[in-house]
């Protein structure tokens, strides 16, 4: 398809990534020897240090059960950076600088002595590295450990009162609960220990540059907003497809499944940003308030509508993955037809699709616009292809925005063809956008909660999805495994949009 050229104009005198700097603080990670710490958190911290967003007065303290010295932890982190962020390893001197900020406390999370050792380490860093008593505690552990850690921190008086210097913030990883009851319980526990302003529920999708750009695209341009509603949009498609399987995460995935792993959090966050009303300001509370309204307006599917509007799948070979039961009924694919019952979106279907081991890695939101009311170019001999306009926000990979429209094909005949205008982030702005975790860790250190999930929103999303979980777990599909790796999921998923005379995008 021919593609007109797009050029980015950056504001004069500004870098594409304006420098944002963390205040002095210690970053404490529980679950320091785990996968998330190695793959995402430590590479993100290293990038922030190398970028200058984290300055001198800073330390990382890893906490985990495994006995390890600070040097041993430093070696592991450097190894992880080599493996997961090889681009950072060019400058050995700088890498040593990262390793020099690392400390380690070993201990059981249920043991009060662990928190006494942690307190001593933090006080040492306040003295030696000027961390000023400010702390971010990051809970990168399985949810079953959250209670011990939060109560341990509280009992050791490591949580200062809210709105108070030095400050304390706690970042809690997903999944935030397993269903509505456990999410409510976890929120009650967090509220006993922390003020909401100190609670940072992380969903790394919100740290993706392209997800943040949904707001900018919608509210910094005047031409799209008038079209952003039921009058002009025929349907919306949100797809998060992965080519990878569950790999070594079988144990986690068996307890989670695709509805808890991706739909309850990542997809509903993207849906809320896509569908929300304009907030009064870009401040955290205004944005989060509008997103909540969308979640509250989701039409609740029950019984027959769940059977009709939710298709689950499991890829062939999942049951042979490590730590997966040979008769597992855990879904690795979900397609859903969702409605938002408000004035803007009444009657517009939102088709959500996500899964592992699919044909292509692609995360996108597509707005399929209504067809023109009357085709002037409908005769077969003149109309090669008259498709409705589609606006696609490409979240990953190949981050960008594409608008497809019809155009006259040059020549004496009245031939119509589809073309697209395509904006690609890397081409437009130069350089890769920062990693999601980088942005979110920095925001937590700076106390900006805009990109973190609020208590009421987390509860609203669980309230909506829990009946779907209950029904599909009580009556799991009998045809699992029902899709081939490298395909687009189970055949039944196709019928979701087809029933309405629409179809999924294809790549």
Q: Applying CB under 6 A, which residues contact ligand BG6?
A: 242, 261
- The whole-angstrom distance between residue 201's C-alpha and the CA centroid of its chain comes to 11
Q: How far is the CB of 261 from ligand BG6 (least distance, A)?
A: 5
- Which CB sits closer to ligand BG6, 190 or 270? 270
Burial of 317 (0-12, 13-18, 19+ CB in 10 A): middle
Distance separating alpha carbons of residues 61 and 27, to the nearest angstrom: 6
Distance separating alpha carbons of residues 449 and 440, to the nearest angstrom: 9
C-alpha to C-alpha distances, 281 to 206, 209, 274, 275, 458, nearest whole angstrom: 18, 19, 17, 17, 22
- Tokens linked to 283: 């401040």
Q: Are 200 and 452 in contact (CB under 8 A)?
A: yes
- Which CB sits closer to ligand BG6, 95 or 334? 334
- Which CB sits closer to ligand BG6, 242 or 384? 242
Distance separating alpha carbons of residues 369 and 418, to the nearest angstrom: 14
Q: Which residue is nearest to ligand BG6 (CB)?
A: 261
Distance separating alpha carbons of residues 167 and 316, to the nearest angstrom: 49
Residue appearing with tokens 């981050």:
399
- Which CB sits closer to ligand BG6, 333 or 345? 333
Query: In 3D, which of 373, 366, 369, 335 has the Cα closest to residue 487?
Result: 335
Q: How far is the CB of 59 from ligand BG6 (least distance, A)?
A: 27
Query: In 3D, which of 241, 307, 248, 229 has the Cα closest to residue 496?
Result: 307
Distance separating alpha carbons of residues 428 and 303, to the nearest angstrom: 47
Q: How far is the CB of 240 from ligand BG6 (least distance, A)?
A: 7
Q: How far is the CB of 82 from ligand BG6 (least distance, A)?
A: 20
- Which CB sits closer to ligand BG6, 179 or 261? 261
Q: How far is the CB of 480 from ligand BG6 (least distance, A)?
A: 18
Q: Are 372 and 285 in contact (CB under 8 A)?
A: no
Q: Tell me, yes or no, if 303 is annotated catalytic.
A: no
222 Cβ contact list (under 8 Å, min separation 6): none
Residue appearing with tokens 């009998």:
478
Q: How far is the CB of 253 from ligand BG6 (least distance, A)?
A: 7
- Which CB sits closer to ligand BG6, 196 or 242? 242
C-alpha to C-alpha distances, 302 to 95, 287, 305, 364, 466, nearest whole angstrom: 54, 29, 5, 27, 11
- Which CB sits closer to ligand BG6, 101 or 174? 174
Q: How far is the CB of 244 from ligand BG6 (least distance, A)?
A: 7
- Which CB sits closer to ligand BG6, 283 or 432? 432
Residue 315 DSSP code: B
> Pick the catalytic residue: 17, 82, 164, 266?
266
Residue appearing with tokens 């100190």:
198
Distance separating alpha carbons of residues 290 and 293, to the nearest angstrom: 5
Q: Are 262 and 240 in contact (CB under 8 A)?
A: yes
Distance separating alpha carbons of residues 262 and 269, to the nearest angstrom: 10
18 Cβ contact list (under 8 Å, min separation 6): none
Q: How far is the CB of 42 from ligand BG6 (least distance, A)?
A: 17
- Which CB sits closer to ligand BG6, 209 or 290? 209
Q: How far is the CB of 295 from ligand BG6 (least distance, A)?
A: 18
Distance separating alpha carbons of residues 330 and 505, to the nearest angstrom: 26
Q: Give the other-Cβ count within 10 Å of 467's Cβ.
A: 17
Query: In 3D, which of 419, 387, 416 has the Cα closest to residue 502?
Result: 387
- Tokens linked to 490: 């189970």
Q: Are 149 and 113 in contact (CB under 8 A)?
A: no
Q: How far is the CB of 424 from ligand BG6 (least distance, A)?
A: 18
- The catalytic residue positions are 266
């Amino acid at each position: 398809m021919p593609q007109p050229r797009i050029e980015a104009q950056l504001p004069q005198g500004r870098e594409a990534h304006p420098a944002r700097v963390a205040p002095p603080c210690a970053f404490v990670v529980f679950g320091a020897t785990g996968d998330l710490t190695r793959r995402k958190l430590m590479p993100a911290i290293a990038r922030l240090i190398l970028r200058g967003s984290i300055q001198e007065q800073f330390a990382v303290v890893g906490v985990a059960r495994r006995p390890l010295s600070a040097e041993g932890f430093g070696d592991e982190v450097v190894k992880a950076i080599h493996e997961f962020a090889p681009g950072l390893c060019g400058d050995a001197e700088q890498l040593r600088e990262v390793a020099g900020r690392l400390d380690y406390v070993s201990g059981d999370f249920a043991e009060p002595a662990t928190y006494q050792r942690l307190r001593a380490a933090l006080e040492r860093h306040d003295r030696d590295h000027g961390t000023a008593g400010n702390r971010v505690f990051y809970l990168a552990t399985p949810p079953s450990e959250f209670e011990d850690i939060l109560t341990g921190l509280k009992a050791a008086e490591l949580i200062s009162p809210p709105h108070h210097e030095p400050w304390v913030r706690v970042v809690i990883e997903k999944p935030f609960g397993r269903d509505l009851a456990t999410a409510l319980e976890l929120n009650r526990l967090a509220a006993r220990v922390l003020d909401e302003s100190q609670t940072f529920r992380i969903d790394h999708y919100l740290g993706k540059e392209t997800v943040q750009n949904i707001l900018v695209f919608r509210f910094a341009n005047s031409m799209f907003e008038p079209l952003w509603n039921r009058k002009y949009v025929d349907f919306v498609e949100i797809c998060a497809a992965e080519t990878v399987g569950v790999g070594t995460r079988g144990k986690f995935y068996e307890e989670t499944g695709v509805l808890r792993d991706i739909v309850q959090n990542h997809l509903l966050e993207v849906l809320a940003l896509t569908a929300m009303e304009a907030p009064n300001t870009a401040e955290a509370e205004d944005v989060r308030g509008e997103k909540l309204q969308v979640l509250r307006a989701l039409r609740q599917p029950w019984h027959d509508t769940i059977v009709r509007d939710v298709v689950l799948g499991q890829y062939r070979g999942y049951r042979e993955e490590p730590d997966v039961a040979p008769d597992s009924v855990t879904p690795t694919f979900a397609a859903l037809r969702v409605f938002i019952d408000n004035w803007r979106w009444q009657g517009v279907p939102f088709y959500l699709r996500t899964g592992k081991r699919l044909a292509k890695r692609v995360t996108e939101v597509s707005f399929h616009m209504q067809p023109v009311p009357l085709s002037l170019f409908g005769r077969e001999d003149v109309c090669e292809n008259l498709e409705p306009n589609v606006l696609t926000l490409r979240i990953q990979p190949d981050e960008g925005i594409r608008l497809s429209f019809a155009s006259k094909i040059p020549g004496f005949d009245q031939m119509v063809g589809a073309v697209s205008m395509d904006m690609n982030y890397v081409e437009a702005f130069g350089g890769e956008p920062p990693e999601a975790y980088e942005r979110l860790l920095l925001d937590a250190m700076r106390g900006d909660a805009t990109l973190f999930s609020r208590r009421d929103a987390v509860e609203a999303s669980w309230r909506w999805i829990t009946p779907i979980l209950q029904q599909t777990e009580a009556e799991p599909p009998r045809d699992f495994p029902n899709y081939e790796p490298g395909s687009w999921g189970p055949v039944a998923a196709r019928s979701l949009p087809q029933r309405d005379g629409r179809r999924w995008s294809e790549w």
